[in-house]
Amino acid sequence: MSWVASLAKQNKNRLPAEAYVSVLETCQTLDAVIDAETRQPMGDPQFEYELTATVREYLPAVIRGYLAIPPSVVDNRQANGRTANEELVEQLQLLSRQADTLHSSRHRQTSIDLANTGNFLRERFGHQQGGGFDFGIK
């Protein structure tokens, strides 16, 4: 993701301020997901596909597509009544929400994994005493 952030930084003056901030925040969120996935892969093919597509295809395509438009026409209304600037901001908002969803999914699974490990350890090593477990620790 660093190259996408670097591309945005190199073109900071070409991007609307809101879009520039959105790109950097989205990259930061996706970097956190990639780091967690690198440390301990979830093994979920759908998750992996969505993460890879967002990182390698969708986000770069949006930024490259916008930067391919001559600066003199980014404020012109298109056939759909929107400007390239408006399109860029909306598309980056959609990708930001996707990055947040991937981040939440990744960390929700991590929490589930931790709970499952705790359940295993309690069952394997804990001795139930009344309403709780006695692990022999004083």
Q: What is the pLDDT of residues 13-71, one digit of tens each?
A: 999 999 999 999 999 999 999 999 999 898 899 999 999 999 999 999 999 999 999 99
Q: DSSP letter at 72?
A: G
Sign of the C-alpha dihedral, residues 18, 19, 24, 28?
A: positive
pLDDT of 109 reads 75
pLDDT of 26 reads 97
pTM of the complete model: 0.79
Q: DSSP letter at 54?
A: I
Q: What is the pLDDT of residues 71-99, one digit of tens each?
A: 999 999 999 999 999 999 999 999 999 99
Helix residue ranges, H only, the chain: 2-10, 17-39, 45-53, 59-67, 84-125
User: Which pLDDT band holds residue 129 (cuts at 50, 70, 90)?
Assistant: low
